[in-house]
Copies of this chain bind each other. A is one copy, B any other.
Amino acid sequence: MNVTFSPGPTGLGTSSLRARRQPGEQPVRPIPGLYWHPVKEPEPAVVAEVDRRIKRWAVEEIDLFPPEWEEQFDAFGTGRYVCLTYPEAAGLDHLEAAAQLLVAENAVDDCYCEDHGGSPHGLGARLLMAHSSLERPHSVAPYEQQWQQKLDSEAPCRAYRASMEFFNRLTSDQVRDREVHDLARLHLGYLAEAAWSIDGVVPGIPEYLMARQYNSFRPCLSIVDAIDGYLFPADLHDHPKVQQVIALASLATTLINDLYSYTKELRSPRPHVNLPTVVQVQEGLPPDEAYGKAVTIHNDVMHRFEEEAAACTAELPGPLTARYLRGIADWLDGNHWWHATNTRRYTLPGFLPAQ
């Protein structure tokens, strides 16, 4: 997903650099030319309560991070993120469930993939370990117990397990299974990008867009029914037309991240592929034109998402399909606004038209 807690240029110990704009960068705001929809700002009291709960969970229940990561954890804005993306959430417990899953996903990304101890090397083994904490791994004594002890010793695995259990209590085994599947998709996406990183490969645009359908925010947006307090039934969710709409929405959310984190990722210790850099390399364009083309591709994906969502609602009439797809669209809009207003994480490239 590439929305990790790490807000700064080179990871831990550089938090003083966070708010400092680099030369040639602009303050974050909606990207000129980007297709997006305005959202309502959430109630500050609700945001604060979700932040209080998620901090308590992470610190007291999971022991998720060392004290020196606390400022970064707070600066991420988890409460505002989930309040913006689930405006119809059924209640605080449901918002907390979404926040727990998001925090756990970020911890796995930070600690196993990215700059808080992660790396593309050996990632397949670490991600399978993490994945096994979402489901109970079963073997025989004493090995099953020994493996559980290993999982209990890993903070990201404790977070995955606890967040999935809390989520499961609010919903059903079916929806838990659906979410584990979407996290498997995410992990497969991480592993494709790790392979590119190790081999120094810049994928073609078609392959990159396919992979960003997997390494995407899908595990967040596909659970809008559960967070909003109803069940979108499996026979509808698994219908090819609905799957198409979810896939396009997932891709759109990730391209938003690519565009807003472009300058942040330029400063990363390891080169990051994102749509602007892929376009730049594959089409031999200068950075500003490549970025502009990436904005156009994002807009095309958004338009296609909206067209196919309308077609899907017509093909599968009934209140649940419309409600679910409305929730997905809300998630996209909230995700955009969180990125466009997160001044502590993001800046825009200097080549964009001035504000």
Contacts and interface: CB of A to CB of B under 8 A. Distances in A.
A243 interface: yes
Contacts of A203: 125
Interface in A117-162: 121-129, 131-132, 135-141, 143-144, 146-147, 150
Contacts of A184: 181, 184-185, 188
Contacts of A243: 135-136
Given A188-B188, A234-B234, A201 B125 contact: yes
A106 to B, nearest CB: 20
A115 to B, nearest CB: 19
A240 interface: yes
Given A144-B206, A173-B235, A210-B147, A240 B192 contact: no
A234 B174 CA distance: 6
Contact of A247 (B138, B181, B189, B304): B138
A194 interface: yes
Contacts of A185: 184
Contacts of A297: 140, 143
Contact of A189 (B128, B173, B181, B300): B128
A302 to B, nearest CB: 10
A44 B176 CA distance: 43
B192 A238 contact: no
Contacts of A144: 206, 209
A207 B238 contact: no
B248 A143 contact: no
A174 B301 contact: no
A207 B239 contact: no
B140 A214 contact: no
A160 B198 CA distance: 27
* 10 A-B pairs with least C-beta separation: A124-B195, A124-B191, A128-B192, A184-B184, A147-B206, A173-B238, A139-B209, A146-B206, A181-B181, A143-B206
26 contacts: A121-B195, A122-B195, A124-B188, A125-B192, A125-B195, A125-B196, A125-B207, A125-B211, A127-B188, A127-B192, A128-B189, A128-B211, A129-B210, A138-B248, A139-B206, A139-B209, A139-B210, A140-B300, A140-B301, A143-B297, A147-B207, A173-B235, A173-B239, A174-B234, A174-B235, A177-B181
